[in-house]
Amino acid sequence: MAILIIRYSLNVISFHLPFINTLLSGGSVYTRWDRDICPTSANFIYDGFVAGALYSHTGSGVNYLCLSKEPRWAKGSRTASDVGIIYGAEYETLLVNIWTNLHNNGVPCAACRSRGPTIMIPGRNICFEGWKLEYHGYLMTSYQSHAGSKEFICVDSDATVAEGSNSGNQEGALLFFVTAVCGSLKCPPYDGNKLITCAVCSQTK
């Protein structure tokens, strides 16, 4: 029994070691939405599929997740009747003038480790002085009138589709571009006809 406990403890430590090293080194872990690789300035941890609650459901989570491509299951037959449900995410880009080829396709993602603290800056596609660009793109979230609210995420400008996905309309957790509403937001500097950009930046030492 003692040997099994030691082996289990070593497995847990091994799994968490990259995150422990990140904390000790002052770096941080972030998700690169819509790419399954990390920038050259960051270390790759894992890649997967963007997922979340169904756009029309009012329950389950409000965040998008980067689900691993290599799931592992608990031993034994674990089942439940009352559950939360998670769906794959899809691009909703049919009625815009970019990324129309991605419409209804699945969305990839990657977990990346930077050398310094990271921040997502909405409304800019470049970093402030003292910060290094990890990637830039567009702010995306759920549709304004859908029942299921979602967080705002920064989707990489060099967008790709998830491995094995197709353009069939599966619905699920949907991603729409974001525009500003003038009045509540100051225009200028914002513009209600332009897509909100974003940047993920890491602090340089």
* Residues, the chain: 205
SS3 122: strand
How does pLDDT run across 29-59, given as a tens digit for each residue? 999 999 999 999 899 999 999 999 877 677 7
N- to C-terminal Cα separation, the chain: 47
Residue 148 Cα to chain centre, angstroms:
17
**Which one, of 156, 159, 115, lies nearest residue 31 by Cα?**
156
Residue listed under structure tokens 């729409």: 176
CB 196 within 8 A of CB 185: no
Single pTM value for the model = 0.78
Tell me which of 61-75, 80-94, 163-177 is least confident: 163-177
Domain boundaries, the chain: 28-67+85-203
Percent over 70 (pLDDT), the chain: 85
Average pLDDT over residues 151-156: 94
**Which one, of 152, 139, 115, lies nearest residue 198 by Cα?**
139
Task: Give the alpha-carbon dihedral of 151, 157, 68, 94, to 10 degrees.
Answer: 70
**22 pLDDT higher than 50:** no
User: Which pLDDT score is estimated for 172?
Assistant: 82
Q: How far apart are CA 172 and CA 122, in angstroms?
A: 25
Q: How far apart are CA 85 and CA 60, in angstroms?
A: 7
If you average pLDDT over every residue of the chain, what do you get?
A: 85
Confidence of residue 77 (pLDDT cuts 50, 70, 90): confident
Query: What's the token pair of residue 136?
Result: 């830039």
Query: What's the token pair of residue 193?
Result: 């006809």
